[in-house]
Amino acid sequence: MINRSDIEKREFRDLTSYAAKAAESRGRKIPEEKCAIRTDFQRDRDRIIHSKAFRRLMHKTQVFLAPEGDHYRTRLTHTIEVSQIARTIARGAGLNEDLTEAIAMGHDLGHTPFGHSGEAVLNEIYPGGFRHNVQSLRVVDVLESGSSGRRGMNLTFEVRDGILNHTGATMPITAEGQVVKTSDRIAYINHDIDDAIRSGIITAEDLPEESIAVLGDTHKKRIDTLVKDMIENSFDRPTAQLSREKADAMNRLRAYMFEKVYHNRQVKKAEDIEKIRNVIVSLYRYFMERPDALPEDLRAMEGEFSHQELVKDHIAGMTDRYALGLYEELFL
């Protein structure tokens, strides 16, 4: 039998000196008895995967608001692709694969319905603004209950740090968190290109030639190039990053996608954007005026958190179809 102690010893033996070791974790806010079989990072991954917030990602938009087809990415398939890319990089770079996977699985738990379009509306109407990475941390710290009934998942410091800093200017403190931060970008740029080509918004020939010359002319080649480059530039080093050449090529692709796809009227029609705005604003106002209409678990937090924050939590946690269904039930 291979137990937790064996796995922790293996980490010290096989991983690089810059890899995070489960036995050296900064720990949890609330101390817990160790699992006999799993390391703390493995337990964190399992808690995230078994959460309701993780299951809801299946019905949350990635980019295309109303895709006509079964093969477009959702927030859940995006999360799985990020995890796969990040685990491959971590394994090749001698980093902690379990920590990497836990961060990847939890990084988008706080995303709103309707993707970044929904996030933009909530950011506009909620005082202080809304950022999905901050909400993801709130999900694991407060909104999801553990199996013991205690509030929050009580995750380790390293996983929480990676979730919070997977986007934005602040870098995660661990190399594993840095791997997820770059893997998130590798994943969404390339799978959004794939979806955009499938939808007819762009063609493969439209992509920036200078980026394609460096990264490759197919989905598979681009990801393979970026993963190998990340491993080569992260192995036995204190930080995990791409080479300057590959990072610049990927950033040019990203800029192209913002110009041609993410802000494209065919992808996000004006009437769809207005519908999303109307749904989120209407639901937000409805629950602001009716505190008793919030779910029981959120009402139990009244007094500890402002009513406005709890309404924001409720809206952000909705899936696309739940938000639309509730809107129709209440207002149509």
CATH level 3 topology of 4-331: Hypothetical protein af1432 (1.10.3210)
Would you state the pLDDT for residue 196?
86
Cα dihedral: 58, 119, 329, 77 (round 10) = -10
For the chain, state the CA radius of gyration: 21
Q: Which of 238, 21, 45 is nearest to 159 (CA)?
A: 45
pTM: 0.95
Sign of the four-CA dihedral 287, 288, 289, 295: positive
Cα–Cα dist 121/91, whole Å: 38
Residue-level pLDDT, tens digit, the chain, 332 residues: 999 999 999 999 999 999 999 999 999 999 999 999 999 999 999 999 999 999 999 998 876 555 444 446 789 999 999 999 999 999 999 999 999 999 999 999 999 999 888 999 999 999 999 999 999 999 999 999 866 667 899 999 999 999 999 999 999 999 999 999 999 999 999 998 988 888 788 999 999 999 999 999 999 999 999 999 999 999 999 999 999 999 999 999 999 999 888 777 666 666 688 899 999 999 999 999 999 999 999 999 999 999 999 999 999 999 999 999 999 999 98
Count of alpha carbons within 13 angstroms of residue 148, beta-carbon side: 8
Query: In b/e form, how buried is each residue of 37-58, taking b as 16+ CB within 10 angstroms?
Result: ebbbbbbbbebbeebebbebbe
Q: Which of 31, 50, 52, 49 is nearest to 40 (CA)?
A: 31
What angle is formed at CA 278 by the lines to CA 275 and CA 281, rounded to 5 degrees? 145
pLDDT in tens, 24-35: 999 999 999 999
pLDDT in tens, 169-225: 999 999 999 999 999 999 999 998 988 888 788 999 999 999 999 999 999 999 999
